[in-house]
Amino acid sequence: MQINIQAPLEQEGQPGTDPVRTYLQEISRIPLLSHEQEIVYGKQVQRMMRLYQTRAALAQELEQEPTTAAWAQTTNLSLNELHVALMQGQRAKRKMIEANLRLVVSVAKKYQKRGIELLDLVQEGSLGLERGVEKFDPTKGYKFSTYAYWWIRQGITRAIAQQARMIRLPVHVNEKLNQIKKAQRQLAQQLGRTATVAELANALGWSAKKVQECFEQARQPISLDLRVGEARDTELGELIVDTRSLPEDYAQQSAQREYLETMLSELTPQ
């Protein structure tokens, strides 16, 4: 599911309209979900995801894309039941995404002036939100917005880190890497496996040493103190995602913090 944040802008179609303001006005009209709705929609999305996982497993087993009838039979559903479950899942996914777009904007605003336009940050955050919707387990008990925050932030920070990386590498190196990636894709289709350095060199008409040097340039380490962004006011280390922290852990810690803050606020001063 592609998040098209330009859609509401096209609907307005008025010259001179501030795209950010227009987008904010559009999403502000979308009602938030209750906790009960999040649970219902979350379960529908999870069911849909399990059905797609079953389809992927069946395709791997058959070594070809299964028919809808075979897919339905494997899931012990009728064709109509399968269709309904998928439609419910897609609708629930869309509802959960749309209801949390304001959260995406809120997070994106914290990362402005770092080399990427706000609407682009919102797009990246929306993709992270989509991933969060697909992964959300409503039986865990925590609020979806708390869980989704982690995925939104990850989508945005990864995009900024990638932007910093592209700025770091010289243009000619990026061009060579793009050529290598294209050759890798083509050879993978032809060979049915990942191409070796020698095979890439032969396809590109380069020496194996040149291909290897490009790989090494792409991997060369950089300082976490590197200043990035238009204002050079952000260190690269600030944008690195904490892989030790999982979205479930983040949600649980946030819930515990909210509970403690509530309890402390109810204490009578001594």
Average pLDDT for residues 125-149, to the nearest whole number? 92
pLDDT mean across residues, the chain: 81
Domains assigned to the chain = 7-168 (1.20.120.1810), 171-228 (1.10.10.10)
pLDDT digits (tens, 9 = 90+) for 36-50: 999 999 999 999 999
Spatial separation of the C-alpha atoms in residues 184 and 178, rounded to whole Å: 10
8 burial level (CB within 10 Å; 0-12, 13-18, 19+): middle
Going by C-beta distance under 8 Å and a sequence separation of 6 or more, which residues neighbour residue 102? Answer: 27, 28, 30
pLDDT digits (tens, 9 = 90+) for 141-188: 888 998 999 999 999 988 887 776 666 667 777 788 889 988 988 888
Residue 114: what pLDDT? 77
Spatial separation of the C-alpha atoms in residues 177 and 54, rounded to whole Å: 36
Average pLDDT for residues 223-232, to the nearest whole number? 54
Against a cut of 0.75, is the pTM above it?
no
